[in-house]
Every structure is written in structure tokens, then in C-alpha cells.
Amino acid sequence: MSDDMNDGFKALKDIKAPAPSEAARQRALAASRMAFEAAKTETAKNNATAPQGVRRPSRLSSIITSLKGKSIMDMRLPIGTAAIALLLLPLGYQLYNSTAMSPADRLQVDTTSQVSAPPKLTPPPTTLPVNPQPGTPAMKDADAQKPLAGEDRAEAPAELNDVTAPMAETAPTASATTTAAPAQPPVARPEPLAQDSAAMSTQAVQSEMAPPPPSPVVGGTLSRMQSNSAPSAGIIAPEGDFYATPAQTATEPSGDEFTQFDESRLKVVADESVSTFSIDVDTASYSYVRSMLDDGYVPEPDAVRLEELINYFPYDYAPADSAAVPFKPTMAVFPTPWNPKTQLLHIGIKGYVPPAGEDKPSNLVFLIDTSGSMDEPNKLPLLKRAFALLVDQLSAKDTVSIVTYAGSAGVVLEPTKADDKAKILAALDNLAAGGSTAGAEGIELAYKLAEQAKVTDGTNRVILATDGDFNVGIDNPDDLETFIKAKREGGVTLSVLGFGRGNLDDATMQALAQNGNGNASYIDNFREAQKVLVEEGGSTLDMIAKDVKIQVEFNPAMVSEYRLIGYETRALNREDFNNDTVDAGDIGAGHTVTAIYEITPAGSDANLVDPLRYGAPTDPSLAVATMNAPTELAFLKMRYKLPNEDVSQLLEVPVTPSVVYGDIDAVNPDMKFAAAVAAFGQKLKGSNYGGAMSWSDIAMLAQTGRGADTSGYRAEFMGLIKTASLLRPDEAAKPKADAPAAP
């Protein structure tokens, strides 16, 4: 190296570096921010183009296998955005240090510059996912940012308080929960911004690449407090309920539709001594509640139907002796676990079980929704595996047909003997979801095939499977119900299976199944499909009694108040009991049904209703009944029709002191477990009556009634109690102090 060159380097070494220019720094940072936002906008436009069909669009991603064999998500788009930010921010630092400016000028913003202050960048409001589908990308990709049908949007707090100058000066992050702080006068800093800017830009990229983990939900709404989390150091938590407990968050609709109903109210025996309702063995509510809790969400109150929770489990009641009288009620009266001053009247029945070899032939038509919304793992793919389980249980005397509607409409499989399983399974396997939800003559085709292959002395049933799209060809709901009722009278019944969440129309499911003399079930996983279609398949299809009604008359000398736990949507008028034209529920072979009343003994200080000042008119019939049976607590009546008859039969059983127990430990385990399930359901939905029992007490009661539990369903329920206790702590589940306790 020459001496001249060495002298030149020495001269450079002695030159004092010019002071950085604040204006240049501001211009560079503003340019980098605008480039960053432009890249994000371009990325959003590219992602906005969705494939055709009705399925909700989601971020396109792929799985890349690394050299170590691990799979990672393809995040090329966010990384490209990060690259732009990381290139431009150091450029701003170079410009900052390359322009001379006096220390005094450094404290002012160049008002002649085109960009005098960093623009305030406000990201779009955060959309919190409400009841995303389990096992789908909704919990982990951009699809979670899109609201489901019927969902309300919830915005995050507008902005966080500015704590330090560095936070105000650095580039805004892509956080979904904050916006850029208002522009602040720049402050002279002794250290350059390169390191801080790079760190903040990296944080922004990480925030975009990794969406925040899901939080517990109350009533379909995400609780904003992450478990075991607290505000970051140096950041002031925003006002409001951002770090609120689940009990403090508001309730929003889930996107699923349920029949709205009020909880069964307390009734005074002197005023209304008779209770009448329709028996039903639907279990859709329990499996839906389980699915919600397993995903970390609390179901909305109308989704919790107590009788369906209780009847989900099999109970070892005494079986009937013959098909002519297919029921034998089992009853007991024992102390209420959540209120020792009251008692529970437990009524259990088990349907007649035909001997082996008496299986009746079945003619089944699968009416399957193939609209685009069914193209999710827990919908059509699960549906096909579920029906394959049912087909495997059928024999040569059974017949199967398949009709689809919506995405693809028409007859997929003509009536085929069930022993040709390869043909049936191939037809199922070829089903695909897609296209619009334009209606077709789906339900009319299904009933046409059912009548074409109708069997005598057997089961003729259409099984409708959908995620909530009931555009089956008859648009008017009243006309659809009338059509189903008419076909029911002709001997073809209807059952409904629901799949998925966010679009589920449970209200229509229940209405169609009840009008079709069938069952409504919700299939949330493969195990539930096995339970409904394999373990209970025979009892579901082999009906032993129809239009089953229960009526209980309470003795005012022994009982002062009562309330029926559940069955709100199946209540009947007193006069409906003897009217054979009034439709009611149906019972299959071996089905168990449970009804529980909470009663207040006469003379107890647990009465919630004060006596009338001037008394009440005396019903002569009550006086006669009390005189004839002074010690009876109540009188149970059941009406039912045998499968091929149109005139009902009557079964009567008194509730005598012989079934009264002074200690809950004296009753059999099944009754204790059913009481625990009732307490669980009441607490989960915020009952005005039975919601004060603690989760630990409910778990202890359920454990004492767990029994053999060969199926494992009761053990699973124990896990649900623990999950519910985390999502809805005891204090949150208690009824409000001003909630009405009596009518």
C-alpha cells in the first residue's frame, strides 16, 4: 500500500463524524413505514382472492419438511414482508448518521419536509373468533380473523398508553391488539436506533407470523385474559376488561341457532298440582356441550338442555317384562344435593328389550347435505365414516339408499340390500362437498325412495345429515313440517344428525326430528358416531312405543312446591295428556329415559312462595285425592301407543313413602350420577335454582355414582366438570343476586 494512501486513511481517521440529522431520520423512518404498509396491503390483496364455492376462505399454506424431518408452516409471505422492513430500517439509520445537524435543530422537526411526522397507522379492528370448528384451520390461520355466520365483531382497545420515548419512536408492530401511538415530538437520544428498530421490526414480524393463542370463552366470546399471563413489563394495561376474568366478559351469539326457552319455573302445588310433558331420548345437547368445553368455550345457555344431558348416559333401570307393556318405572325420593331442605323425585324408565334374533328389517335412506360448507374435516369426512359404521351393522334384510342435496343433488344410490356393502361404501366415499346451496327436491326424493323400498313390520326411516343447511327442496318451514308429519302418518319417520359448528341450526333439527317421530343427535367426533349409530343403533331404529307422555300429580298435603328439571321445550298442556292426536316422543328398544323433579315437602321452611293472605279456593278433587291417599307424595301416569296402534294405553304408579330415602348415599349409584349431571347442567347455564353447588362437590357426587362405567362415558364427564370449573369458576357461575327466585 502506497504512502499516499496511508496518509489518506490517517486523515479520514481524524475527521469528526457529522452529527445525525433528525429530519433525515424522520424521512427514512416514514419511508420505511410506508413501504412496510404497502407490502402488507399487497399481501392482503393477494390473500383476499378465495377459491370458488361457499367454504370460508383461509390462508394458503403448505407443509415443508426440513432436513431434520420436522414439519413447519410455509410462511413465505410474512417473511417477504419482514425482509422489506429489515432492509429499509437500517437504511434509515445510515441516513440518520450521514446528515449533519446541530444539537438544537435535532430537537425540532423539519417543517419544510414533505413528511413532518410519522403517519399514524391504524390496523383494522381485531375480530375475535366465536366458536371456531374443532380440528379446522379456524384456530390457527387467517380464517380465524373472519366472523362466522351470525357473529358479532369485537374490537380491541384503541391504543395503549405511551410509556417510553423509544416505544413512540420505533416502527409500529403488526399486533392485532394495539395501534400506533400518537405522534410525539422527537427526543434526542445518545444512542442510535439501529438495534431497537431491528428488534421492534422483528417483533412485528413474529406477531404477524404467530397469532395469539385462543382464550377461554364465555357464552361464545373469547375471554381476553390468557391463562397464567400478565401485562408485559413497562406496558400499562388498557382500561376495560382486557385482562378480565371469564365471568366479566359479555355474551355473544355463537353462530349456531338454538330454540330459546326460559328455565322451568317453580310451581305451587295448591295452584298447579299437575305436570305434563313429552318423553324424549335426544342427546344432541350433551355432545354439543362437550364439544364446546373440549375446545375451551362455554356454551350459550339455550344450548344446554338438561334432560338431554341427563339422558345421554345409560342407566341400569329394571326392564319391562313384555312388549305389550314396554315400561316399568323406577322411582326414588332423596335429599337434593344442592339444597338439603328440598328433595329430588327421580323417575327412570327403560324400554323393553326384544330377545336376540327378533331384529326387525330396516329400510334406511341417507339424505346428505353436500353444500360447500360441509367441506371441513368434522363435517362431510366425519359423516361418511359415521355412516360407514352404521352400514357395517346392517344385514341382508336391510336396505340402504342415498340422496344428496345442495352442492350436488339427486339419487346417488338406489335402494340396495345392505349385504352389498362394497357398493354402498363406494357411493359414500365418492361424495364431495362444493358448489352453491341451491335447493333441490332432496327430501321428496328421499321419501320417494323410502316408500319405494318400504318394509312391513320394520323400520322405514330417512336420516338427514347436515351442518345446518336445511335447503332440502321445501323452503317454507311450516310446509316442511307439514310434509314430514304427513309422511310420518304413512309410516316413514325422520331422524336428524348434526355435524360441525358455526352454522348449526339446532332449533330446526329438533323441530324436524320431533315432527318426524325420530331422534336428533349431534356428531362431534368418531367416538360419538360409534355411540349413536352402533351402540345405540338398534334402540334408535327399533321403536317399541310412540307418543309417550308423562303426567305427575302432586299431593298438596305432602308437597308444597315443585319444578321439573329440564324438558322446557317438551312441555304439554294438561289436556294434551289424554288427547291421542297430540304428538309426543318415541322410545326405542332398551332406551332409558330419566326425569327429575325438585320438590319441597309440605311444612318445610324451604318454600320460596309466601302463602296468600286471603287463602286460595279449594279444588274439590284435591281434597278427595288427599283423603283417599293421605301419604302418597305423587301419582305417576304414562300414556303410550304401541308401534302399529293409534289408540294410547295408560300406565299408573303411585309414589309412596316406600321409595323415600333420608340420605342420598342410600340410593343406587345411577341416581346419584344423574343428580350430579343435573347439578352440572344447571351450574353451567347459570340456573336461578341449582347453580350454587360447587364444581368440586359436583365432581365428588359424580364420582360416588360413577359405578362400573364400562363405556367410559362417565369418566369423560368427570373431565368435563374439571374443564367447566376452569372456564366458569364458582363465583362466575353463581346466579345474580337480583335474579328472580320465584315466579
Per-residue confidence (pLDDT) for residue 429, from 0 to 100? 93
Rounded CA-CA distance 333/727 in Å is 33
**Who's near 458: CB < 8 A, 6+ residues apart?**
360, 361, 362, 363
pLDDT at 263 > cutoff 70: yes
More confident site: 70 or 592 = 592
What single string gives the DSSP state of each residue in 132-176?
A: PPTTSGGGTSGGGGS--TTPPP-PPPS-PPP--HHHHHSPPP--S
Mean of pLDDT values over 603-629: 68
- Domain 362-541 grouped into CATH 3.40.50.410: yes
Rounded CA-CA distance 512/401 in Å is 20
Per-residue confidence (pLDDT) for residue 44, from 0 to 100? 61
Rounded CA-CA distance 157/160 in Å is 8
pLDDT at 372 > cutoff 90: no
Q: How many helices (H) and strands (E) does the chain have?
A: 20, 20
More confident site: 559 or 132 = 559
Per-residue confidence (pLDDT) for residue 115, from 0 to 100? 42
> 267-354+544-606+621-733 has which fold?
Immunoglobulin-like (2.60.40)
Mean of pLDDT values over 98-109: 45
pLDDT at 39 > cutoff 50: yes
Q: How far apart are the first and last CA of the chain?
A: 102
pLDDT at 362 > cutoff 60: yes
Grid cell, residue 722, equals 374439571
Mean of pLDDT values over 71-81: 47
Q: Where is 379: in which H helix or E strand?
A: none
Q: Report the largest interatomic distance among the alpha carbons of the chain, rounded to a whole angstrom.
A: 129
Per-residue confidence (pLDDT) for residue 4, from 0 to 100? 64
pLDDT per position as a tens digit, 231-256: 333 333 333 332 333 433 334 456 78
pLDDT per position as a tens digit, 683-739: 999 998 877 899 999 999 999 999 989 899 999 999 999 999 999 998 655 544 444
Which DSSP category does 533 fall into?
Answer: I
Per-residue confidence (pLDDT) for residue 17, from 0 to 100? 66
pLDDT-derived band at 565, boundaries 50, 70, 90: very high
Rounded CA-CA distance 369/104 in Å is 73
pLDDT-derived band at 368, boundaries 50, 70, 90: very high
Lowest mean pLDDT among 386-395, 437-446, 658-667, 707-716: 437-446
pLDDT at 64 > cutoff 90: no
- What are the two backbone dihedrals, phi and then psi, of residue 367, each rounded to the nearest 5 degrees? -105, 105
Lowest mean pLDDT among 31-35, 40-44, 270-274, 619-623: 619-623
pLDDT per position as a tens digit, 294-345: 999 999 999 999 999 999 999 999 988 888 899 899 999 999 999 999 999 9
Rounded CA-CA distance 27/32 in Å is 9
More confident site: 426 or 741 = 426
Q: Percent of the chain at pLDDT above 90?
A: 41
Per-residue confidence (pLDDT) for residue 472, from 0 to 100? 83
Mean of pLDDT values over 353-364: 83
So where are the chain's domains? 18-213, 267-354+544-606+621-733, 362-541
Question: What is the CB-side half-sphere exposure of residue 194 using CA atoms within 13 A?
Answer: 10
pLDDT at 131 > cutoff 70: no
Lowest mean pLDDT among 27-31, 488-492, 601-605: 27-31
- Assess whether the region 267-354+544-606+621-733 and the region 362-541 belong to the same CATH fold: no
More confident site: 118 or 593 = 593
Per-residue confidence (pLDDT) for residue 317, from 0 to 100? 94
pLDDT at 200 > cutoff 50: no
Grid cell, residue 72, equals 413447519
pLDDT-derived band at 487, boundaries 50, 70, 90: very high
Quote the Cα angle for 526-527-530, to 5°.
90
Per-residue confidence (pLDDT) for residue 125, from 0 to 100? 45
Select from 540, 564, 541, 538 the least CA-distant residue to 551. Answer: 564
pLDDT-derived band at 556, boundaries 50, 70, 90: very high
Report strand pairing: 649-655 vs 217-218.
unpaired
Q: Percent of the chain at pLDDT above 70?
A: 63
Select from 314, 460, 472, 322 the least CA-distant residue to 399. Answer: 460
Rounded CA-CA distance 621/571 in Å is 23
Lowest mean pLDDT among 108-112, 293-297, 485-489: 108-112
Task: Return the residue matching grid coordinates 341382508.
Answer: 396
Contact 333, 346 (CB under 8 A): yes
Q: Which of 109-123, 196-210, 422-436 has the highest mean pLDDT?
A: 422-436
More confident site: 494 or 621 = 494
